[in-house]
A and B are shown apart, each in its own frame.
Chain A
């Protein structure tokens, strides 16, 4: 039986009728058409589906949409400014070529957002540990770390 949920996604309030078994990842992609959130393994391993739920990175393939009722969700689409200016983390992935095929990138960026919000000056080891919940099958981790370091520097300089 469908239930009504109301939540904020990227600053906009949405009210929808959803089946309780609808996953948050599928709600974002299929109901709200926010396909920046990717579904990779669908088993809470790969992290491609990572979004911010009330300020914490979570794997949206392992959260039911009904659990997010009343929550504040940010997806990849919510990071850039309205004028298209990239968020410093997005810019880091662009400048440092922190991607190869790009499939894992939305999750990598959303995990990096969580990491840098709680630890603005991470060491390389802390970046690698902070991103252990995100798998890159191209094994492009080296440039991903550089991208996060670029973002940290830019966010700390306030520019």
Chain B
């Protein structure tokens, strides 16, 4: 398949990329790993006149420890994240979910920044960013801005990014002591996109009760969202099987469920409770 014609730029600095973005405005699309955008261009659902490739900006690719958490450059690939001992240690659910994205070749190209900016309703990392309480740093000409993951995902394929902004860094706060994390997804067998996916970050106190919980949901509705009903049910509970099941039964509250060839809304509503319970149980196990 052949895409529409476009002009291609490969800036080597964020400043140059931002200048190109300012110059071309709505005509331009940013190209990260390309594994969402290029298929859209091939089917001509997207026909940008200008592509600004971020792939040559080496300063956007890094994984650093920061205040006990992480700072990750937006162009860091799924493979790099999944294989990073630092991520496995400081935000294990991010490594776990990154290793479950699509397949090896796609993980070698796809990036965390691309995933979050694309906000695919079945993408894995938006749910993980929500569960980890990630802070997303954007750059525009002469300015930076920090957006909480909670405010970043606006709607189907829509984020809080302004047209002149580039998502440059993902900051993940340190996990409190006693915290376990896990990702559980029901994956489409061919694409490995999440039919539903649940990221759980649960802090267990010394008495075995839940001190805090953040649950991120993907695949179920038009955008990734937090299961706040499940979270509030978990906090203060003893995290036994019935408490987890009861809390997980609220994971789909308020979601306008997707209906497609992969699953009906009713089936997704069922799956989301099952997978929320699995993710929470695994997170609790990982906390010990």
Contacts and interface: CB of A to CB of B under 8 A. Distances in A.
Interface of A: 1, 3, 19-21, 42-45, 47, 50, 53, 56-59, 62-64, 66-67, 69, 111, 114-115, 130, 132-134
Nearest to B1: A42
B8 interface: yes
B234 interface: no
Contacts of A50: 105
Contact of A57 (B3, B38, B105): B105
Given A20-B51, A43-B42, A67 B105 contact: no
B5 interface: yes
Interface of B: 1-8, 10, 31, 34-35, 38-39, 42, 51, 53, 55, 79, 102-106, 108-109, 190-192
Contacts of B105: 44, 47, 50, 57-59, 111, 114, 133
A98 to B, nearest CB: 18
A133 B6 contact: no
A129 B53 CA distance: 30
Contacts of A3: 8
A30 to B, nearest CB: 12
Tell me which of B34, B39, B104 has the highest count of chain A C-beta atoms within 10 A of its own C-beta. B104
A21 B53 contact: no
Contact of B109 (A45, A63, A66): A63
Given A20-B8, A57-B105, A59-B106, A64 B38 contact: yes
Contacts of A1: 7
Contacts of A53: 108
B10 A21 contact: no
Nearest to A69: B10
A44 B108 contact: no
Given A20-B7, A64-B38, A58 B109 contact: yes
A42 B42 contact: yes
Given A67-B10, A114-B105, 17 more contacts: A1-B7, A21-B4, A45-B190, A45-B191, A56-B109, A57-B104, A59-B105, A62-B35, A62-B38, A62-B39, A67-B34, A67-B53, A130-B104, A132-B192, A133-B103, A133-B104, A133-B106
Contact of A56 (B2, B39, B42, B108): B108
A64 B10 CA distance: 12
Contacts of B31: 67
Nearest to B50: A20
Nearest to A114: B104
Question: 3 nearest interchain CB pairs?
Answer: A133-B103, A20-B8, A56-B108
Contacts of B108: 53, 56-58, 114
A123 to B, nearest CB: 15
6 contacts: A20-B5, A53-B108, A57-B105, A66-B53, A67-B31, A133-B102
B34 A63 contact: yes
Contacts of A19: 5
A69 B11 CA distance: 13
A58 B34 CA distance: 11
B105 to A, nearest CB: 5
Contact of A62 (B10, B34, B53, B104): B34
Contact of B39 (A20, A43, A66): A43
A150 to B, nearest CB: 20
B42 A20 contact: no
Contacts of B42: 42-43
A20 B6 contact: yes
Contacts of B38: 44, 62-64
A134 B190 CA distance: 10
Contact of A66 (B1, B3, B8, B104): B8
Contacts of B53: 66-67
Nearest to B189: A132
A34 to B, nearest CB: 18
Contacts of A130: 104
A58 B4 CA distance: 22
A38 to B, nearest CB: 14
